[in-house]
Amino acid sequence: MKKKLLVLLIIFLIPIRALALEYPKLNSKVVEVYDVTDNKVLYEVDSNKKSSIASLTKIATTITAIENIKNLDEEVVISREILNTVSWDASVAGLKAGDKVTYRDLLYASILPSGADATNSIAILSSGSIDNYVKKMNELVTKIGLKNTHFVNVTGFDDDNHYSTADDCRKLLEYALKNKLFREVYSANEYTLSNGLTVKSTIYKYNKKGVDTSKIIGSKTGYTGNVGYCFSSLSNLNGHEFITIVLNADKSGENLLDTISLLDFVNDNYKSEILITKGEVISKIPVKLSKINYYKIKTGSDVEKFLPSDYDKTSFKAKYIGLKKLSYRNKKGDKIGKIKYYFGDELFFEEDVILDIDINFSIMKFIIMYWYLIVILVLITLFFVIKLLFRKKHIKRKKKN
């Protein structure tokens, strides 16, 4: 009995180290979770691996249209010839020959139901051919600086020369979302076209099945035989905006469920942590010939960083860089330096240090510091006074004689 108690006591006394956070197991083989607010990849798996990206291609098709078509409210007519360019197995919005719609309508029909009939219509009606339009898409690729992306069609069908990566997809979506209209289209759940056709986001069917998609602001799905099921999404979690890309899930719905698992994990395990509060003393610098000996360098605000719950507090550092000493010559309101805040090797915030007091000259400190000079000055003065008196006395004697 005593041995058992001793063993239990030893177990309880041994410090238990918290395990690092582990992201959930996923079905998708390629993943990237990106914090747009902090411009930081939180998690990735093979995110720079080239592959097909299926209908995530339509993100490029749509933002290219927005940037190149002058009048998006121009009415166009869908022809039988255009519809004949759409593959039999492509997802469509439901456009019919003779439909009169606007380019704006076609943007929604391209993103929400992933309509190949809409993307082909945009390309042919605005540029004369799909090939001409694809050139513009690849010009956009160059403009954004995507190094591992090339398009040969506007829908995302598999082709050896049609490829991207999860990381490039994220960069493309991040770029597109800066456009107000694209963000509206990407975030819409449904939209009614000019011809009366109502299109709904591909995520709609999952809502009907009871899947909680409330954390997803906007999304785009995709599927081809080469890359499997794909999903891109925009979310806002704990005050931060996120883009999530998943590629290469084996079964329908796994792409969405993987995305939800990732968003739930981030939502549960990441938040803004206050690393240091306003007014905390970072450093002290000496003040010469003043009534105060030191000036305290203090934080000007609460310093926060979006971090996982298991973050290492010792990784945070605050470093003052600026004047090494002050004197009465420094005035209130002067910028005297900066405080730089690091987490690990990352400089994530910095602020100016402004002198917030008047530094008054101290005669007593001056006397104490420079007493030897004062003594020398007094001695020199006495020397000249004595010399002057001696000279006057000498002159008087001469006059008497």
Structure tokens at 300: 């000007």
The pLDDT tens digits for 131-158 are 999 999 999 999 999 999 999 999 999 9
Q: Could you tell me if 56 and 230 are in contact, meaning their C-beta atoms sit under 8 angstroms apart?
A: yes
Dihedral of CA atoms 256, 259, 264, 265 in degrees, nearest 10, equals: 140
Cβ atoms of residues 256 and 213 within 8 Å: yes
pLDDT (average), residues 51-79: 97
In this predicted structure, the answer to whether residue 16 has a pLDDT above a threshold of 60 is no
pTM attached to this predicted model: 0.82
Return the residue matching tokens 């593959």: 87
- Report the pLDDT value the prediction gives residue 374, as an integer from 0 to 100: 60
Output the DSSP codes for 135-154. Answer: HHHHHHHHHHT-SS-B-S-S
Show the CA angle centred on residue 297, arms to residues 296 and 302, nearest 5°.
Answer: 125
| Lowest pLDDT segment from 62-71, 242-251, 289-298 | 289-298
Tell me the pLDDT band of 387, cut-offs 50, 70 and 90.
confident
Task: Decide which of 3.40.50.10470, 3.40.710.10, 3.30.1360.120, 3.30.420.10 is the CATH code for 30-269.
Answer: 3.40.710.10
CA distance 81 to 89: 17
pLDDT of 367 over the 70 cut: no
- φ, ψ of residue 98 to 5 degrees: the values are 95, -10
Instruction: State mean pLDDT over 90-98.
Output: 96
DSSP, collapsed to helix, strand or coil, labels residue 209 as coil
pLDDT band at 401 (very low <50, low <70, confident <90, very high): low
Is a pLDDT exceeding 60 seen at residue 80? Answer: yes
Write the pLDDT tens digit of every residue in 296-321.
Answer: 999 999 999 999 999 999 999 999 99
User: CA nearest 304: which of 339, 341, 269?
Assistant: 341
Question: How far, in Å, CA of 25 to CA of 60, rounded?
Answer: 30
Sign of CA dihedral 328, 332, 337, 340: positive
Fold of 277-354: Peptidoglycan synthesis regulatory factor (PBP3), Domain 2 (2.60.410)
- pLDDT score recorded for residue 139: 98
Query: In this predicted structure, what is the pLDDT of residue 19?
Result: 46
Percent of the chain residues past pLDDT 70, beyond the cut:
89
Q: Write down the pLDDT at residue 24.
A: 94
pLDDT band at residue 14 under the 50/70/90 scheme: very low
Q: How is residue 332 written in tokens?
A: 């209130």
Q: What is the mean pLDDT of residues 114-126?
A: 98
* pLDDT for the residue 42: 95
DSSP collapsed to 3 states, 26-64: CCCCEEEEEECCCCEEEEEECCCCCECCHHHHHHHHHHH
Contact 352, 336 (CB under 8 A): no
Dist. CA 85–CA 317, nearest whole Å: 60
pLDDT tens per residue across span 178-215: 999 999 999 999 999 999 999 999 988 777 777 899 99
